C-alpha cells in the first residue's frame, strides 16, 4: 500500500508549486472582476435586424461611452453583424443608461431586452467585504464544530485544507482570467462545505481507528490505513459530484458557466486536500504535540 | 424467494417511480420561480441625505408605503417591496412588461408644488385627494386633480388672489404647466395639461396619487432579465438536470448493482420531496438554485456510498448479508451526520450574507443535504431490508460487494 503520510512532502510540494504560480498570476494580471464587484452595467439586447459593433459604438460615443466593451452574439469572427449585442460599460447612472438605450432604439431600431444589469460602485465594494466575511465566517464555524466533535488539531488540519482550496480556485480564476461575479462567492462556500465534508469522513475513520490503535502501530501507519479505507468512498463521491457539476458546466448555459467552473476546480482541489493533505497534517501536529503514548487517552472519542 | 417481502419492495419501488413520473413536472412548475427564471426586475434604491430631507426610520417606512402604492398600480403578481438595512429599499417586479418605465417611476420624488407669481410655494401634493388621467376639452390628455377639503380652500384662495396672473405647477422642481388664472376656482378640482400622450398622463396621475417620497432615492442596483433569457435559462437547466441525474444514476447502478439501483430509486423520491418541501415553504427557485439541486443530487449519493462501502466492509469481515446491511447503516450514520453538518453550515452563512439568487442557492443546498440524509437512512434502508429479506439472491456480488476473502480483517 502506498503511504500517503510518508510521502506528504511530495503532496505538499505539488500544492505549493501550484499556489506559487497562481499567486504570481494574481500579482501579474490580477482578477477579472465582474460588475458585481467593480460597479458598471451590462446591457444585453436582441435587435430586430442585425447591427455591427461600429454602429453600436457610434451611438455610445455620443454619450462618452466609446470605450465600452461591445460583443456580438456570435463566435464566428467573419460575421460582422448580429442581432444579439452585449454592451459592458463603466459605472453609469440610471438616467444616462436610459438615454443611451432610447438612443439605440431611435438610431438602430427596436430591440428586445434580454438582460440589463446595473451596479453602483458602493455595492461592489460591499460585495468584496461580504465575500471575505462569508468565507472567513464559514472557516470559523468549521473550526468550532470540528473542535467540538473531534479535537482542535483536527480542526486546524481541516482548515489548512480549506484555505488551500479557496486559494486554488482564486488561482485558477486569475490564471485563466475568468470573470468573477456574486455567484462566485456561493461557489467558494460550496467548495468549503464539500471539501470539509470529505475531510471529516477521513477524520471520522481516524477517530474510529484510534479506539483500537495499538502502541506498536505507528500513528502515521494508522492514518494511512484510515485514508485508504475511505479511498473508494472519496473517489466515488468525487466522481458522482463531478458528473453533476460537469452537467451544469456543459449544459447549464452561459449565465452559470463560471459558477460551475469554480465548483469544478474547487471540488477537485477539495478531494486532493481531504485525501492527501489533511490526514498527514494531523499526524504531524499530533506527533509534534505530545508523546505518542498519550494519544489514545487524550483523544476525545465520540 | 420470499414473495411477501418482494411484494413490499416492488410496491414501494413502483409507487416511487410512478409518482415521480406523474408529479415531477407539475411540482417543478409550481415552485415559485426567481426573477432570473421567469424574467423581471430587481432594483435596489438608496436613500440619500439632502439638506431639507433627513434619512431616518420614519422617512424610509413612508417611502416603502409610497413605492408599494406605485407598484400596485402596475398590476403584477407578487411584487416584493422591502427595506434593507437602515437606508435601502429592495423592489422586485416579477414579469414586468415594461421594466424601463416601471424603474423610472419607482424612484421619482414626485413632489408637486403650486407656486404663485412671486415663486412662493402655496400648496403641495399633500393637498391632493386623488388624481386621474382624463381627456381635456381640447381632446388632449390631461391629469385631473381632486383636492382635499383644505386643499380646495387653498386652491380657491390662490386662484382668487391671482386673477389675470400666472401661477405655476411644478413636479420635482420642473414646471409642468404655467396657466394664467381667468377666474377663482372653488370646486376643489383642477387639471394639469402638457402631457404628450395618455400613457404619460396616466403615469403622472399614478405618481401624484401615490404621494411624494419624503427622501431622495437613488438607483443603486438594477438587474433586469427579459422573459426570453429567463425561458432560455430554464430550458438549459432542465437539460443539465436531466443529464446530471442520468450520469449519477448510471454510475450508481454500475458500481453498486442492486444497491445502486435502490439508491437511484430513492434519489427519485428525494428529488420529489425536495421540490414538494420547497413549494410548501414557498421558497424561490433561482438559476443557481437549480444548480444547487443538481449538486445536491450528486452529494446525496455520498450518504449511499458511505453506507454501501461500510456494508462491503462488513461483508468482508464475514457477516451475513442482513446484519451487514444493518451494521452498514448504523455505523455510517455518525459519519454522514458529521460530514453533512458542515455543508449545512456553509449554506447557512450564504443564506445569511447573500442576496436574491444566492439565497435561493443556499436554501436548495441546505434543504437538499438534510432531505438526502433523511431519505438515505430511511427509505433506502427499508428498500434494502425488504430486498434482502425476499431472498432474491444471497450472493453479495448482487449487492455490489465481493464475498469475504480467506484472510479476514480483524
Q: What is the pLDDT of residue A266?
A: 94
- Asked if residues A162 and A142 have their Cβ atoms less than 8 Å apart, the reply is yes
**Predicted TM-score (pTM) of this structure:** 0.83
Q: Tell me whether residue A255 is in a domain.
A: yes
**Contact with chain B for residue A113, Cβ under 8 A:** yes
One domain, residues A87 and A154: no
Q: Which of A75, A99, A119 is the last residue of a domain?
A: A119
Q: Tell me whether residue A2 is in a domain.
A: no
Which CB contacts under 8 angstroms, 24+ apart, belong to B77-84? B78/B32, B84/B44
Q: What is the pLDDT of residue B404?
A: 65
Strands (E), B49-111: 80-84, 88-94
- Asked if residues A5 and A279 have their Cβ atoms less than 8 Å apart, the reply is yes
B-chain residues within 8 Å CB-CB of A244? 244, 247-248, 294-295, 297-299
**Contact with chain A for residue B408, Cβ under 8 A:** no
Query: Per the CB < 8 Å rule, is A115 touching B243?
Result: no
Question: Which of B143-152, B160-169, B295-304, B363-372 has the weakest average pLDDT?
Answer: B295-304
Interface of B with A in 17-36 (CB under 8 A): 36
**Contact with chain A for residue B299, Cβ under 8 A:** yes
What CATH number should be reported for the domain holding residue A215? 1.20.1640.10
Measure the CA–CA gap between B232 and B234, rounded to whole angstroms. 5
Q: What is the pLDDT of residue A66?
A: 83
Chain B, nearest residue to A245 by Cα? B295
One domain, residues A160 and A186: yes
A-chain residues within 8 Å CB-CB of B355? 182
B-chain residues within 8 Å CB-CB of A248? 237, 240, 244, 291, 294-295
Strands (E), A110-267: 111-119, 179-180
Chain B, nearest residue to A242 by Cα? B298
Mean pLDDT of chain B: 87
Question: Which of A223-227, B321-325, B381-385, B404-408 has the weakest average pLDDT?
Answer: B404-408
**Contact with chain A for residue B289, Cβ under 8 A:** no
One domain, residues A219 and A196: yes
One domain, residues A215 and A293: yes
ipTM here: 0.81
Residue-range domains of chain B with CATH: 3-36+226-399 (1.20.1640.10), 40-224 (3.30.1360.200)
Q: What is the mean pLDDT of residues B16-20?
A: 95
Q: What is the pLDDT of residue B19?
A: 95
One domain, residues A80 and A187: no
What pLDDT, in 10s, does the model give residues B41-87?
999 999 988 887 888 888 899 899 999 988 988 888 789 999 988 89
Q: What is the pLDDT of residue B410?
A: 43
What pLDDT, in 10s, does the model give residues B222-281?
999 988 888 898 899 889 989 998 999 999 999 888 889 999 999 999 999 999 999 999
One domain, residues A60 and A135: no
Closest CA of chain A from B158, distance in Å: 35
Q: What is the mean pLDDT of residues B349-361?
A: 81
One domain, residues A111 and A260: no
Interface of B with A in 57-76 (CB under 8 A): none
Q: Tell me whether residue A173 is in a domain.
A: yes
Q: Tell me whether residue A58 is in a domain.
A: yes
**A286, B143, B303, B358, B368 from B289: Cα distances, Å:** 41, 45, 21, 8, 11
One domain, residues A147 and A243: yes
Measure the CA–CA gap between A280 and B299, rounded to whole angstroms. 25
Residue B120 — pLDDT band, cuts 50, 70, 90?
Answer: confident
One domain, residues A159 and A231: yes
Residue B177 — pLDDT band, cuts 50, 70, 90?
Answer: confident
**Contact with chain A for residue B5, Cβ under 8 A:** no
Strands B174-177 and B168-171, by their bridges, are antiparallel
Q: Which of A96, A119, A142 is the last residue of a domain?
A: A119
**Contact with chain A for residue B349, Cβ under 8 A:** yes
Q: What is the pLDDT along chain A (302 residues), one digit of tens a residue?
A: 789 988 989 999 999 999 999 999 999 988 998 888 888 999 999 998 889 889 999 999 998 888 888 888 766 667 788 888 999 998 888 888 888 998 999 999 999 889 999 988 887 788 888 888 988 999 999 999 999 999 999 999 999 999 999 999 999 999 999 999 888 888 888 898 889 989 999 999 999 999 888 878 888 999 999 999 999 999 999 998 888 899 999 998 888 889 999 999 999 999 999 999 999 999 999 888 755 444 444 444 44
Q: What is the mean pLDDT of residues B354-360?
A: 76
B-chain residues within 8 Å CB-CB of A93? 219
Residue B17 — pLDDT band, cuts 50, 70, 90?
Answer: very high
Res B198 pLDDT > 90? no
Query: Domain range holding A197?
Result: 8-32+123-298
One domain, residues A228 and A82: no
One domain, residues A185 and A57: no
Res B94 pLDDT > 70? yes
- Asked if residues A27 and A298 have their Cβ atoms less than 8 Å apart, the reply is no
What CATH number should be reported for the domain holding residue A59? 3.30.70.3220
Measure the CA–CA gap between A104 and A48, rounded to whole angstroms. 12
What pLDDT, in 10s, does the model give residues B270-282?
999 999 999 999 8
Burial B61-95 (b: 16+ CB within 10 A, else e): eebbebbeebbebbebeebebeeeeebbbbbbbbb
Measure the CA–CA gap between A26 and A174, rounded to whole angstroms. 6
Q: Which of B221, B244, B349 sits opposite A244 (nearest CB)?
A: B244
B-chain residues within 8 Å CB-CB of A190? 295, 343, 346, 365
One domain, residues A179 and A289: yes
Which residue of A187, A190, A250 to mutate against B (max B Cβ within 10 Å)? A190
- Asked if residues A168 and A265 have their Cβ atoms less than 8 Å apart, the reply is yes
Measure the CA–CA gap between B287 and B299, rounded to whole angstroms. 18
**Contact with chain B for residue A192, Cβ under 8 A:** yes
Quote the DSSP letter at residue B53. B
Q: Tell me whether residue A1 is in a domain.
A: no
**Contact with chain B for residue A1, Cβ under 8 A:** no
Measure the CA–CA gap between B55 and B217, rounded to whole angstroms. 10
Q: Tell me whether residue A3 is in a domain.
A: no
Q: What is the pLDDT of residue B179?
A: 85
Measure the CA–CA gap between B370 and B347, rounded to whole angstroms. 11
Q: Which of B100, B218, B295 sits opposite A244 (nearest CB)?
A: B295
Residue B409 — pLDDT band, cuts 50, 70, 90?
Answer: very low
Cβ atoms within 10 Å of B337's Cβ, excluding its own: 15
Q: What is the pLDDT of residue B403?
A: 67
Q: Which of A93, A119, A145 is the last residue of a domain?
A: A119
Count of structural domains within chain A: 2
Cβ-Cβ contacts under 8 Å between A and B: the total is 216
Amino acid at each position: 500500500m502506498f503511504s500517503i503520510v510518508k510521502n506528504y512532502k511530495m503532496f505538499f510540494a505539488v500544492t505549493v508549486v501550484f499556489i506559487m504560480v497562481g499567486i504570481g498570476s494574481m500579482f501579474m494580471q490580477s482578477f477579472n472582476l465582474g460588475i458585481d464587484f467593480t460597479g458598471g452595467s451590462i446591457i444585453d439586447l436582441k435587435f430586430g435586424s442585425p447591427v455591427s459593433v461600429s454602429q453600436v459604438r457610434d451611438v455610445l460615443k455620443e454619450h462618452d461611452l466609446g470605450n465600452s466593451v461591445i460583443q456580438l452574439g456570435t463566435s464566428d469572427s467573419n460575421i460582422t453583424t448580429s442581432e444579439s449585442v452585449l454592451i459592458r460599460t463603466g459605472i453609469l447612472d440610471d438616467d444616462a443608461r436610459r438615454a443611451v438605450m432610447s438612443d439605440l432604439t431611435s438610431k438602430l431600431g427596436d430591440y428586445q431586452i434580454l438582460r440589463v444589469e446595473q451596479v453602483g460602485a458602493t455595492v461592489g465594494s460591499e460585495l468584496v467585504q461580504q465575500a471575505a466575511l462569508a468565507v472567513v465566517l464559514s472557516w470559523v464555524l468549521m473550526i468550532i464544530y470540528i473542535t467540538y466533535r473531534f479535537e482542535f488539531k483536527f480542526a486546524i488540519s481541516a482548515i489548512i485544507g480549506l484555505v488551500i482550496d479557496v486559494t486554488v480556485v482564486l488561482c485558477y480564476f486569475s490564471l485563466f482570467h475568468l470573470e468573477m461575479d456574486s455567484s462566485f462567492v456561493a461557489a467558494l462556500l460550496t467548495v468549503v462545505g464539500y471539501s470539509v465534508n470529505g475531510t471529516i469522513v477521513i477524520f471520522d475513520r481516524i477517530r474510529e481507528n484510534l479506539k483500537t490503535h495499538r502502541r506498536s502501530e505507528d500513528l502515521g501507519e494508522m492514518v494511512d490505513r484510515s485514508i485508504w479505507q475511505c479511498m473508494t468512498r472519496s473517489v466515488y463521491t468525487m466522481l458522482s459530484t463531478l458528473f453533476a457539476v460537469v452537467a451544469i458546466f456543459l449544459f447549464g448555459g452561459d449565465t452559470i458557466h463560471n459558477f460551475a467552473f469554480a465548483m469544478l476546480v474547487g471540488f477537485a482541489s477539495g478531494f486532493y486536500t481531504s485525501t492527501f493533505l489533511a490526514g498527514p497534517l494531523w499526524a504531524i501536529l499530533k506527533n509534534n504535540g505530545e508523546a505518542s503514548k498519550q494519544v489514545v487517552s487524550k483523544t476525545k472519542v465520540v | 424467494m420470499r414473495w411477501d417481502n418482494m411484494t413490499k419492495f416492488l410496491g414501494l419501488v413502483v409507487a416511487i417511480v410512478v409518482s415521480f413520473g406523474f408529479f415531477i413536472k407539475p411540482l417543478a412548475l409550481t415552485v415559485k420561480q426567481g426573477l432570473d427564471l421567469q424574467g423581471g426586475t430587481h432594483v435596489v434604491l438608496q436613500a440619500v441625505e439632502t439638506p431639507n430631507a433627513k434619512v431616518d426610520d420614519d422617512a424610509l417606512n413612508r417611502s416603502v408605503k409610497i413605492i408599494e402604492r406605485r407598484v400596485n398600480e402596475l398590476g403584477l403578481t407578487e411584487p416584493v417591496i422591502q427595506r434593507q438595512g437602515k437606508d435601502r429599499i429592495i423592489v422586485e417586479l416579477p414579469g414586468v412588461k415594461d421594466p424601463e418605465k416601471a424603474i423610472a417611476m419607482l424612484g421619482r420624488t414626485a413632489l408637486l408644488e403650486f407656486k404663485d407669481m412671486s415663486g412662493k410655494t402655496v400648496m403641495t401634493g399633500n393637498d391632493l385627494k386623488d388624481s386621474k388621467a382624463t381627456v381635456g376639452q381640447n381632446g388632449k390628455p390631461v391629469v385631473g386633480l381632486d383636492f382635499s377639503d383644505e386643499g380646495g380652500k387653498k386652491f380657491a384662495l390662490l386662484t382668487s388672489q391671482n386673477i389675470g396672473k400666472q401661477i405655476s405647477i411644478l413636479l420635482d422642481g420642473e414646471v409642468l404647466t404655467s396657466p394664467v388664472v381667468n377666474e377663482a376656482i372653488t370646486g376643489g378640482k383642477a387639471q394639469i395639461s402638457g402631457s404628450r400622450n395618455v400613457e404619460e398622463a396616466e403615469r403622472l396621475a399614478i405618481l401624484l396619487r401615490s404621494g411624494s417620497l419624503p427622501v431622495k432615492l437613488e438607483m443603486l442596483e438594477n438587474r433586469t432579465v427579459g422573459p426570453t433569457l429567463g425561458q432560455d435559462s430554464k430550458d438549459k437547466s432542465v437539460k443539465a438536470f436531466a443529464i446530471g441525474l442520468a450520469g449519477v444514476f448510471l454510475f450508481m447502478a454500475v458500481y453498486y448493482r442492486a444497491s445502486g439501483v435502490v439508491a437511484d430509486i430513492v434519489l427519485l423520491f428525494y428529488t420529489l420531496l425536495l421540490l414538494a418541501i420547497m413549494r410548501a415553504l414557498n421558497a424561490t427557485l433561482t438559476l443557481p438554485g437549480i444548480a444547487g439541486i443538481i449538486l445536491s443530487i450528486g452529494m446525496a449519493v455520498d450518504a449511499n456510498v458511505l453506507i454501501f462501502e461500510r456494508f462491503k466492509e462488513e461483508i468482508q469481515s464475514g457477516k451475513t448479508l442482513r446484519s451487514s446491511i444493518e451494521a452498514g447503516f448504523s455505523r455510517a450514520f455518525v459519519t454522514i451526520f458529521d460530514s453533512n453538518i458542515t455543508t449545512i453550515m456553509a449554506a447557512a452563512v450564504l443564506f445569511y450574507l447573500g442576496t436574491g439568487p444566492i439565497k435561493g442557492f443556499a436554501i436548495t443546498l441546505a434543504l437538499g443535504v438534510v432531505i438526502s440524509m433523511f431519505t438515505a437512512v430511511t427509505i433506502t434502508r427499508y428498500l434494502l431490508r425488504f430486498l434482502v429479506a425476499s431472498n432474491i439472491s444471497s450472493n453479495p456480488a448482487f449487492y455490489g460487494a465481493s464475498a469475504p476473502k480467506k484472510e479476514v480483517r480483524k
